[in-house]
Chain A
Amino acid sequence: MPGPAQHPVPALALVGAWWRAAVRFGNGVLGADRYERYLQYHRATGSEAEPMTEREFWRDYQDWQDAHPEGRCC
């Protein structure tokens, strides 16, 4: 691996990487990445059917949530 002396990591790139990781973490905690993960799941099942569009997926997910409440503690 090249030493940092020859190729200093640009500070900006480092900040960018941290920022992207933070956004990814935030999206994950909020559950904003659900559609992406659904697509990943859909591809992995090898299903022939077309996956739901983003709009269809969220509608379906919200309706499913109606019958599956999640507790929040104190």
Chain B
Amino acid sequence: MSTTHHQPSGAPRPAAEGHAELPPNHVDPEVLEREQTRWTPLRIALWVGIALLGAVAWAMIAFARGESINAIWFVFAAVCSYFIAYRFYAKFIEAKLTRPDDRRATPAEYHANGKDYLPTDRRVLYGHHFAAIAGAGPLVGPVLAAQMGYLPGTIWIIVGVILAGAVQDYLVLFFSMRRGGRSLGQMAREELGVVGGYAAIVATLTIMVIIVAILALVVVNALGESPWGVFSVGMTIPIALFMGVYLRYLRPGKVMEVSVIGFVLLMVAIVGGGWVADTELGAQLFTLDRVTLAWCVIGYGFVAAVLPVWLLLSPRDYLSTFMKVGTIVLLAAAIVVVRPEITVPAVSEFASRTDGPSFTGSLFPFLFVTIACGALSGFHALIASGTTPKMIEKERQARFIGYGGMLMESFVAIMALVAAVSIDRGIYFAMNASPAATMGTVEGAAAFVNSLGLSGVHVTPELLQGTADAVGEETIVSRTGGAPTLAVGLSHIMHQWFGGASMMSFWYHFAIMFEALFILTAVDAGTRVARFMLTDTLGNFFPKFRDVNWRAGAWLTTAIMVAGWGSILILGVTDPLGGINTFFPLFGIANQLLAAIALAVCLAIAANLRRFKHLWIILVPLVFDVVVTVTGSWQKIFSSDPKVGYWANHVAFKDALAQGKESFGTAKTVAAMEAVVRNTFVQGTLSVLFVVLTIVVVVMAAIETVKALRGHERRTHEDPFVESRIYAPSGLGATPSEKALMTQWEALPLEQRTPTGGGHH
């Protein structure tokens, strides 16, 4: 008699040969399918209800032309659309394109090392992934885009995330997970060859530099001439140092405890900032101009990137994560509770013009690059490859983490948009017009805004000063960059819920604090990551750079990266045209070009998997993104309108200088004119570089795709199949059969269901 036992065909197999005692490692996909897609009356009613509510909300937003519209409709439209997209479109992508297989062990399981390869509960990983992808980006872009009215931004944020942003995040996460958690650069190299691979790496590196620079510019603009902000944000450094020492020497491992302590200290720092700014000495000490602040941020960035991470970087990260989850929940609750009325027009006068005060250029393509994070963000591909795939327990969870995580970021963007459009339009434009337009005075700003000829907009100097006084600032005129506008919007919403008018200044500085915290975390982590990417690349030519203990090498490469973003930051703060409104499009274009690279890599992978029929899932966002970014870059490079084209502006100012003019346009001195010439040269050159590198990558991906279409077979770069020896449900909740299987697994001793990464027991 044979000792081998046979499984009935089709039934789930035990987790591994010789481990018959383990329960199955997956629920039979057919059973799962039946459970999830059988249309019971209750389910039909539920989804019809969601669809109806969503439709009504969309109709309210798009067609209501009354005096005002309630912000709650934005929440309903967004959430209902997300549910439908997650349940139907993401499921469709899963069934047709990715086809996850829960029998297959993930890198977290077969490489498990107790450190970065660490199978993590899906709900915890969702929070972890969200904290890594979301920061100030989705808070800032929608604010600037609000100049075109709420409708274009809302449509792009919601439709964009469903068809583009979440698709990119999910696919990159999935394909990286199938490849042992390899980074986007490594995947590009494998899938697109040496040229495409290097182009992707250089593009990633330069794009990271510009992104860090513009984020830093947002912080500097928010803190310039604001002693309260400078004090409270500055205090985060000693607070983080204290937390670092506490965790290293006093009570190692008490992360939650120290985060709570840090949070309390942070609140004290915000309140204390108000007192300090009220004293003469404090106001004197902490009122810094933007150039000084820029140098402080540059110095901070360098120090944070070379210090051991335990001292500054990781405690800040704890604080930032703690704040991130908390503030998002707070913001959502506030909007639902307060339900502000919105009086801004759905589509504003600037939607059909190219000379908007907060960013220049026409709606197409510049709205789609101004709102990057929240709709489609290429930077996420760096997190979705490399970090998160090393922690995911089961392939089926990738939809929840990748697609679902991005939906949450999109929701943050919607909330930021609501906050921005809930404030008076006159105040909005006074805050977001460049100092060159407003002269930096309340009178100048009122005159400028009233001269725009916007319907229903009339601001007075008293209103602007009153708003500044209410939020505890010297002035709110020309506080560009989006962060101060969001902070005013947030304080406007929050004070109606908590504390009344007397709390407005607290909420304003609370918002500035968390935006600065998110940005500075992205700046120091970004500098560090970029430094390691640079040493890695240089290591190919000079092996000495691979030695992580070589301090001089670490200092040198850090200095190069900091010099890269630092010099752009300095250009930005000294820009006579206002800085943000000319530099921000570059940030968006860079981010979207990175998305094009990520989607191109996914396209090549999917084509080589021979999923031709459903390549459109990737082609739709890729083609749209390429059209948007290439058109945007084209206009930035070739447009003859100096308000839009970098080179047109460059030439105009150069000519003016050659003619011996002493002032030109908004530049009032020869030095300012020379600055414009220099800045437009840098911006123009970077635009050309980004677009060329991206086109190289996209063309390489197209070639790979066509080769695959012609039947060219290629070896897969996926890691080999390893039978999984763990089990976990796939979505937020568990279906009955998932629950039943989970119960079987939970009956086992913990050791038996803890992956050890190949270490046999």
- Seen from chain B, the residues whose Cβ lies within 8 Å of a Cβ on chain A are 112, 114-116, 118, 120-121, 123-124, 127-128, 131-137, 211, 215, 247-248, 252-256, 259, 308-310, 314, 317-318, 320-322, 325, 373, 377, 379-380, 382-383, 386-387, 519, 521-522, 525-526, 528-529, 531-532, 548, 591, 750-752, 754-756, 759, 761
Select one of A27, A66, A73 contacting B135, CB under 8 A.
A73
**CA of A46 to CA of B754 in the docked complex: distance in angstroms?**
11
11 new A-B pairs (CB below 8 Å) besides A29-B127, A58-B252?
Answer: A25-B123, A43-B750, A45-B756, A54-B253, A57-B252, A58-B248, A71-B379, A71-B526, A73-B380, A74-B519, A74-B591
Q: Taking the nearest CB of chain B, how far is it from the CB of A28, in angstroms?
A: 3
Whether the pair A30, B318 counts as a contact (CB closer than 8 A) is yes
Q: Is the CB of B253 within 8 A of A58?
A: yes
Contact of B256 among A27, A54, A57, A61 (CB under 8 A): A27
Shortest distance between the CB of A1 and any CB in chain B (Å): 14
A41 touches which of B112, B525, B531 (Cβ 8 Å): B112
Q: Do residues A30 and B135 form an inter-chain contact, with CB atoms below 8 A?
A: no
Q: How far is the CA of A67 from the CA of B116 in the complex (A)?
A: 12
3 A-B pairs closest in CB distance: A28-B124, A74-B137, A32-B255
Question: Interface majority SS on A: helix, strand, loop or mixed?
Answer: helix
In the complex, A55 has a CB within 8 A of chain B: yes
Complex CA distance for A4 and B157, rounded to whole angstroms: 45
Q: Is the beta-carbon distance between A40 and B754 smaller than 8 angstroms?
A: yes
Q: Decide: B308 and A62 in contact? CB cutoff 8 A.
A: yes
Which residues in A have their C-beta under 8 angstroms from that of B759?
Answer: 45-47
Residue A15 interfacial (CB < 8 Å): no
Closest Cβ of chain B to A52, distance in Å, is 10
> Please, could you name 7 A-B residue pairs with CB atoms under 8 Å apart, sorted by A?
A29-B128, A30-B321, A31-B255, A43-B751, A65-B309, A69-B529, A72-B526
Does the CB pair A42–B308 fall under 8 Å? no
Smallest CB–CB gap between A53 and chain B, Å?
9
In the complex, the answer to whether A72 meets B135 with C-beta atoms within 8 Å is: yes
Asked if A30 and B322 make an inter-chain contact with CB atoms under 8 angstroms apart, the answer reads: yes
Question: How near does chain A come to B176, taking the closest CB pair, in angstroms?
Answer: 13
CB of A41 within 8 A of CB of B114, answer yes
Which has the most chain A C-beta neighbours within 10 Å: B248, B310, B380, B531?
Answer: B310
Residue numbers in B under 8 Å from A46 (CB-CB) = 751, 756, 759, 761
Is the Cβ of B252 less than 8 Å from the Cβ of A59? Answer: yes
Identity of the chain A residue whose Cβ is nearest the Cβ of B759 in the assembled complex: A45
- Whether A28 and B121, one on each chain, are in contact in the complex, defined by CB atoms closer than 8 angstroms, is yes
Whether B525 contacts A72 by the Cβ 8 Å rule is: yes
Residues of A within 8 A of B254 (CB): 32
A33 to chain B: closest CB distance in Å? 8
Q: Chain B residues with Cβ under 8 A from A59's Cβ? A: 248, 252
- The chain A residue with its CB closest to the CB of B320 is A72
Give the nearest-CB partner of B139 in chain A: A74
- Are B373 and A66 in contact, CB atoms less than 8 angstroms apart? no
A37 interface residue (CB < 8 Å to B): yes
Q: Is the CB of B116 within 8 A of A25?
A: no
B contact patch SS:
helix
Query: Quick one: which of A44, A57, A65, A71 contacts B314, CB cutoff 8 A?
Result: A65
> If the complex has contacts A66-B308, A73-B383, are A29 and B124 also in contact, measured as CB distance less than 8 A?
yes
Alpha-carbon gap, A29 to B317, bound state (A): 11
A29 to B259, CA, bound (A): 12
Nearest B residue to A41 via CB reads B114
- Contact check, B247 vs A25: say whether CB atoms are below 8 A apart: no
Question: A residues near B, CB below 8 A?
Answer: 23, 25-32, 34-35, 37-38, 40-47, 54-55, 57-59, 61-74
Chain B residues, Cβ within 8 Å of A70: 132, 387, 525, 529
How many angstroms from the CA of A34 to the CA of B256 in the assembled complex?
A: 12
Closest to A32 in B: B255
Kindly state the separation between the CA atoms of A43 and B114 in the bound complex, as whole angstroms: 11
With contacts A40-B750, A62-B308, A74-B136 known, is A26 near B256, CB below 8 A?
yes
B248:A62 contact, CB within 8 angstroms: yes
Q: A44 touching B255 by the CB < 8 A rule?
A: no
Residues of A within 8 A of B310 (CB): 62, 65
User: Bound complex: CA of A54 vs CA of B386, how far in Å?
Assistant: 27
Q: Indicate the member of A46, A54, A73 with the most B CB atoms within 10 Å.
A: A73
In the bound assembly, the distance between CA atoms of A35 and B252 in angstroms comes to 10
Cβ of A28: which chain B residues have Cβ within 8 Å of it? 120-121, 124, 127-128
Alpha-carbon distance A24/B70, docked complex (angstroms): 37
Residues of B within 8 A of A42 (CB): 114
Complex CA gap A28/B308 in Å reads 23
Give the docked Cα–Cα distance between A29 and B136 (Å). 19
Q: Are B321 and A73 in contact (CB under 8 A)?
A: no
Q: Determine whether the beta carbon of B253 is less than 8 Å from that of A32.
A: yes
Please give me the residue from chain B that is nearest to A35 by CB atom.
Answer: B253
Across the interface, do A27 and B255 meet the contact criterion of CB distance under 8 Å? yes
What are the residues of chain A within 8 A of B548 when measuring CB–CB?
66-67
* Closest B residue, CB atoms, query A65: B309
Bound-complex Cα distance A42 to B531 (A): 32
Please indicate the chain A residues that have their CB under 8 angstroms from the CB of B114 in the complex: 37-38, 41-42
**CA separation between A40 and B119, bound complex, in Å?**
12
State the CA gap A37–B521 with chains docked (Å). Answer: 26
Q: Say whether A25 contacts B127, CB under 8 Å.
A: yes
Q: A27-B255, A58-B253 are in contact. Are A64 and B247 (CB under 8 A)?
A: no
For B373, the closest partner residue in chain A by CB is: A74
**Contact assessment for B522 and A73 in the assembled complex, using a CB-CB cutoff below 8 Å:** yes
Most buried by A among B121, B137, B521, B754: B754
Query: In the bound complex, what is the Cα–Cα distance between A59 and B250 (angstroms)?
Result: 12
From A25, A30, A38, A41, give the contact of B255 (CB < 8 A).
A30
Pairwise interchain contact A74-B522, C-beta atoms closer than 8 A: yes
**Which residues of B have CB within 8 Å of A73?**
132-135, 137, 373, 377, 379-380, 382-383, 522
Q: With the chains together, A21 CA to B531 CA distance in Å?
A: 38
A54 CB → nearest B CB, Å: 5
Q: How far is the CB of A56 from chain B (nearest CB, A)?
A: 9
Tell me which of A37, A55, A72 contacts B252 (CB under 8 A).
A55
Does B525 contact A69, Cβ atoms closer than 8 Å?
yes
- A40-B750, A42-B114 known; A30 and B256 CB under 8 Å? yes
Chain B residues with Cβ below 8 Å from A25 are 123-124, 127
Contact A41 B308 (CB under 8 A): no
**Given A26-B256, A30-B255, are A43 and B754 neighbors across the interface (CB < 8 Å)?**
yes
